[in-house]
Amino acid sequence: MQALRWGQVRSWPSKAALAAALLAAAAAAEAGDAGALCSATAAQAPADGRVAALIAEARAQHAAFGRQEIDSEGRLVRAGFGEAEFDREPGDPDPTWQKVQRFWSAWSPGSPGQVRDSQGRWQRTDLLRQGVNLASSARLASFGGEASEIGLNAREADALDASVQRAALVDNPWSAVFISYLMRQAGFGANEFVFSDAHADYARAAFATGRHEADHQPDTGAYRACDLADTPPRPGDLVCNTRARAAAITDFQALGLALAAGGSLPMHCDLVVDVNRGAHMARSIGGNVLQSVTLRSLALEPQPDPALPPRLAARYREHAADPDASLNDQPWVLLMQLR
C-alpha cells in the first residue's frame, strides 16, 4: 500500500456512500438467499392442495370465454369472446359481460365504479344508473305522470342500465381482478393474498414476503417474489410482466425498487396452469388479454446447469422493445412463486 506523505489527507468514503455500499451488500446477500430458496422450491411440485382448484377454475373460465389462445410464437391462433359482449357457449345462461362483472363483484361489490364520457373524463356509474332509473316510466308515473306517455319503458331502462355497465367493463382493466377472483374461488384468504384491481399490489406483497423470509420473520403470504429470468415456473405460480417501458423497469431488481417506492405501476400477471419440461413449454391463463380470458403458451429453455429445470425463454424479454412482432414479447421479470 502506498504510504502517505506528510500533510497528505486520505480521502475516506462519505457516510452516505458507506451507507449505500452497506445497503447494496445487504441487498445482494438477501437476493442470494432468496434466489437459493426460489431455486430449491422450483425443483419441487407445489404442495398446496388448492392449486388444483385454482387451475380448474382458470380453465373453466377460459372455456366459458370461447378458448382464446396465443401460441409460443406470440400469435393469436384462436379468438374467443370479448369482455362486453353477449356471446356465450351453447347452454350457458350468462353472457360474457356478466361473467366479467362477476369478477369485479367478487373483489368489490358495485365496481367498476367509473366510466368514461365522450371527452375521456371519468363519470360515476352509480349516478348514471340512478339517472336511468329516475327516467323510467314507472318512476315518473309515481310523480303523477302517465306511464304510457313519458319516460322509458322497462326494456328501454334495462338496455340503458346494461349499456352503462358494459361500457364500464371496457373502460376499466380487469386482468388483476380476474386473478383475485381465481384466488378467492380457490380458497385463499386476505391474509395470504392481496385481492386488488392492480397487479402491483400483490406483487409488492410478494416482495415483502421474500424479504421477511430472508430475515427469518413470520409471514402468511402465499407467494414470494422470484426472478423469472432464473426461476422455472410451476403450475400455480404467477408469471408477471411490466408495462412501464418508459421507466426502464425491465428486470427483477428494478421492479423491486419501483414497487418499494410505492404508487401505481402498470403490470400484468398470468396464472401458470401447465408445465411440460420435457417439451420445454409452459402454459398460462390470464384475464383481459386481448379483451378475453386467454390461454398462452410460453417457451422454456435449458439452463446452463442441465440438472436444473428449464426456465422461461430469454427471447421474450430481449424483444420486449418491439412487442408488435409477438404478443409474448414482454418484460417477463417476476415469478410469484407459491410457497
What confidence tens digit (pLDDT) does each residue in 29-57 have?
455 577 899 999 999 999 999 999 999 99
Residue 175 near residue 268, CB atoms below 8 Å: yes
Q: What is the pLDDT of residue 247?
A: 61
Express as a percent the part of the chain with pLDDT over 90. 65
Is residue 111's pLDDT more than 70? Answer: yes
pLDDT: which is higher, 282 or 323: 282
DSSP state of 3: P
Name which of 63-72, 238-247, 275-284, 298-307 the model is least confident about: 238-247
Q: What is the pLDDT of residue 22?
A: 39
Would residue 4 count as lying in a domain? no
Would residue 288 count as lying in a domain? yes
Closest CA to 234 of 180, 273, 278, 188: 273
Query: In terms of domains, do 164 and 206 share one?
Result: no
Query: In terms of domains, do 199 and 165 share one?
Result: no
Is residue 27's pLDDT more than 80? Answer: no
Interior angle at CA 123, CA 119 and CA 124, nearest 5: 170
Q: What is the pLDDT of residue 17?
A: 45
Amino acid occupying residue 334:
L
* Separation CA 63–CA 85 (nearest Å): 15
Would residue 89 count as lying in a domain? no
Query: In terms of domains, do 165 and 253 share one?
Result: no
Would residue 178 count as lying in a domain? no
Is residue 100's pLDDT more than 60? Answer: yes
Query: In terms of domains, do 268 and 314 share one?
Result: yes
Q: What is the pLDDT of residue 13?
A: 43
Query: In terms of domains, do 145 and 274 share one?
Result: no
For the chain, the average pLDDT equals 87
Q: What is the pLDDT of residue 135?
A: 78
Range of the domain at 276: 48-81+194-338
Using pLDDT thresholds of 50, 70 and 90, give the confidence band for residue 259: very high
Pairing mode, if any, of strands 76-78 and 68-70? antiparallel
pLDDT: which is higher, 20 or 268: 268
Would residue 86 count as lying in a domain? no
Query: In terms of domains, do 217 and 318 share one?
Result: yes
Would residue 104 count as lying in a domain? no
Closest CA to 293 of 83, 98, 77: 83
Query: In terms of domains, do 67 and 149 share one?
Result: no
Query: In terms of domains, do 305 and 249 share one?
Result: yes
Query: In terms of domains, do 290 and 250 share one?
Result: yes
The pTM of this model reads 0.85
Farthest CA pair distance, the chain: 105
Residues 6+ apart with CB under 8 A from 248: 254
Query: In terms of domains, do 208 and 327 share one?
Result: yes
* Separation CA 138–CA 329 (nearest Å): 54
Would residue 1 count as lying in a domain? no
Query: In terms of domains, do 265 and 319 share one?
Result: yes
Is residue 126's pLDDT more than 90? Answer: no
Last residue of a domain, one of 171, 205, 240: 171
Last residue of a domain, one of 136, 171, 206: 171
Under the phi-then-psi rule, with left for phi > 0, alpha for psi from -120 to 50, and beta for the rest, what region is 337? beta
Closest CA to 197 of 284, 118, 100, 292: 100
Query: In terms of domains, do 167 and 228 share one?
Result: no
Q: What is the domain count for the chain? A: 2
pLDDT: which is higher, 158 or 314: 314
Would residue 27 count as lying in a domain? no
